[in-house]
Structure 1
Amino acid sequence: MSSTPPSASRSTGRPAGPTATAITTDTAPALIWTALILVYVLWGSTYLGIRIAVETLPPLASAAARFAAAAAVLALVLRLRRGPGALRVDRRQLGSAALVGVLLLAGGNGLVVLAESGPPGVAVPSGIAALLVATVPLLVVLLRSATGDRPRLWTLAGVTLGFVGLVLLVLPTGGTDGVPLAGALTIVAGAASWSIGSFLSGRIRMPDDPFVATVYEMVAGAVVLAVLAVGRGELTGFDPTQVSMRSWLALGYLMVAGSLVAFTAYVWLLHHAPISLVATYAYVNPAVAVVLGAVLVAEPITAQVLLGGAVIVAGVALVVSTERPRRPGAGATPEPARR
């Protein structure tokens, strides 16, 4: 998980920005698809970026630096464009944004970063991490069910299918190419934290402007990640000169491409494209991550990865397709994991 774009659902339970009836209809399809491809590729590539960054950078400390830098840039842009009051929120909104930020970034992203760090055989490959994170929409459906919502039958079928794929993906095989179970469970815990944050963001009083909410979410997440990094002793004896150039470049890529460029494209899409189309990145990102991991760093694509990953993606696709609004403005697709 690599960035925290505005929630697809806030306190109203509707997509951030215009509802389906208000979406601009004269936007050029080329612009929509350009923005969508940016989200597909950039967020799909952030899992590989995380893996490369943590090769020589402290995992939680680098994640904290990434979100702190992205928050500072976004806050500066908002301040310059909108004036001194651009970031003004009340205490309740600030507390809500901070809570969501801690769940999404410190819990969700932080655990993924930890799972991708470590030596081979311990670290989870970036492509498999993306497939595991893809279960977030399935977990959100379970949270909705636990709080009295009644998802559609096909939605529940998609959830069941997705979790079958999860079991197939992490099932021990005894081979050297098996998925590290501890790392996989760490990512599932991160996905659960991300799901709770996504679920709460549509039910508590968040800042009205999704960009402003994201600034405070990033700041809160960065602070908690920094505290955890210090508590784990990540900065004890840390020498920046020992960090490889590729790790620095990966961190810069995560800050710019993942947290700013793709984030902006995602917000623009929420205002100009149907939410059902925007939500397709939930099952495209894992495919992008698997391919990039295999091509660029030779991550193995075994029959187990192909089968489990395909079943997970099919389950997520079924949930996303069946959860589109029944009528304009009637609701939103359950929020997928956002990179």
Structure 2
Amino acid sequence: MSSPAVSTTPPLAREIALLAVLATLWGASYTFIKIGVETIPPVTFIAARTLIAGALLLAIIRMRGLALPREPDVWKRFFIQACINSVIPFTLVAWAEITVDAGLATILNSTTPIFTFLLTVLITRHEPVTARKVFGVTAGVVGISLIIGLEAFNGLGKELVSQLAIVTATISYACAAIFGRGFKGMDPMMPAAGSMICGAVMLIPLSLVVDHPWTIVPSTASIAALFGLAVFSTALAFVIFFRLVHTLGSVSTTSQAYLRVPIGVGIGVLFLGESLSSTAWLGLVCVIAGVAAMTLPSRKKPTAAPI
């Protein structure tokens, strides 16, 4: 008599908790970037970010007794992932935040789930398109508008090129979420470390040519922001990201973008003395509803047991 199959699906509550952690780590990244680029040029700042994160992940992999893959095809995919998930979006956002406020950057970048959803519908069709996910996208956008305040969008006409750069970065993140599904079955640290290493290999030579980093005199705050960004908002965040892409799906994983804004607002209230608008509480409800709609699985009808 065969024993019943044991489910290998991770508990949903744990995955949603990791989604909240990822949102917090990436929500803090905009502040880290804003502080960092005050005295460190964007290309050098992002090159250092990928180098530190890649080195940290590689050290952890070796401590676990593992090794990065050696197959050329795998490294080719790491290179592509690095381009669309770090080199292009990291650099664009860092450059844009020289002139764009961190809050507005957060708003523009939080549209990642929308682009992921649209790319899924129009191109890959690897995830079902349901009314609940459409509601999730809509509720998330409404919630963000309420939390930040509609007046925040008045700045959309200013620094248009920088804002378009952030939107381009957002589309790149959406592509990365879908492409990242190709690493299914691989330890999440492998694509995270591989893509960071590839990113550093591409960005360091560019930094040497463009910024002449030996001439830079960074402030203590910028250095601290760099390490906070590299260790927490990059190395740790990307391990969680690749795990969630496989357990929750690309659209559901990018829905953490909706959580970044209320978390960012909360950090501002607690540590910077910022005030919360009267519409923010309703916005939080909309955000939570949107994330729940995009992450919670639909109930399946029970099937009859075999006789």
**Unaligned ranges ≥5, structure 2:** 1-5, 301-307
Contact 2:136 2:293 in 1 (8 A): no
Aligned residue in 1 for 2:191:
213
Aligned residue in 2 for 1:153:
131
Aligned residue in 2 for 1:129:
105
Aligned residue in 2 for 1:48:
31
CA 1:218–1:157 in 2, change beyond 3 Å: closer, same or farther? same
Aligned residue pairs total 286
Identical-residue share of aligned pairs (%): 26
Q: CA deviation at 1:280?
A: 6.5
CA 1:317–1:114 in 2, change beyond 3 Å: closer, same or farther? farther
CA RMSD of aligned residues (A): 4.1
Amino acid aligned to 2:131: L
- Alignment deviations for residues 110-168 of structure 1 (CA, whole Å, 9 cap, x no partner): 21111112xxxxx22222222221111111110011126351123234445656778x6
Q: CA deviation at 1:279?
A: 6.9
Amino acid aligned to 2:129: P
CA 1:41–1:154 in 2, change beyond 3 Å: closer, same or farther? closer
SS of equivalent residue, structure 1 residue 147: helix
SS of equivalent residue, structure 1 residue 95: helix
Aligned residue in 2 for 1:181:
160
Distance 2:256 2:141 in 1: 19
2:297 aligned with 1:321 = no
Contact 1:138 1:162 in 2 (8 A): no
Aligned residue in 1 for 2:8:
22
TM-score, normalization by structure 2? 0.74
CA 1:153–1:268 in 2, change beyond 3 Å: closer, same or farther? closer
CA 1:214–1:322 in 2, change beyond 3 Å: closer, same or farther? closer
CA 1:299–1:133 in 2, change beyond 3 Å: closer, same or farther? farther
Aligned residue in 2 for 1:75:
58
Aligned residue in 1 for 2:3:
none
Please tell me whether Structure 1 or Structure 2 has the larger radius of gyration of its CA atoms: 2
2:211 aligned with 1:234 = yes
- Alignment deviations for residues 296-335 of structure 1 (CA, whole Å, 9 cap, x no partner): 56889889xx78x949x9479526524544469xxxxxxx
CA 1:256–1:55 in 2, change beyond 3 Å: closer, same or farther? same
Distance 2:299 2:108 in 1: 31
2:81 paired residue among 93, 100, 107: 100
Contact 2:255 2:294 in 1 (8 A): no
SS of equivalent residue, structure 1 residue 289: helix
2:261 paired residue among 272, 286, 291: 286
Structure with the higher fraction of residues in helix conformation: 2
CA 1:278–1:151 in 2, change beyond 3 Å: closer, same or farther? closer
Amino acid aligned to 1:196: C
**Unaligned ranges ≥5, structure 1:** 1-19, 118-122, 329-339
Question: Which shifted more, 292-301 or 44-53?
Answer: 292-301
Contact 2:49 2:229 in 1 (8 A): yes
Distance 1:291 1:327 in 2: 33
Distance 1:36 1:99 in 2: 24
- Alignment deviations for residues 204-243 of structure 1 (CA, whole Å, 9 cap, x no partner): 4677222111111111222333344455x2227x534x21
Map residues 288-303 of structure 1 onto 2, 5 A cutoff. 288-293=263-268
Amino acid aligned to 1:199: I
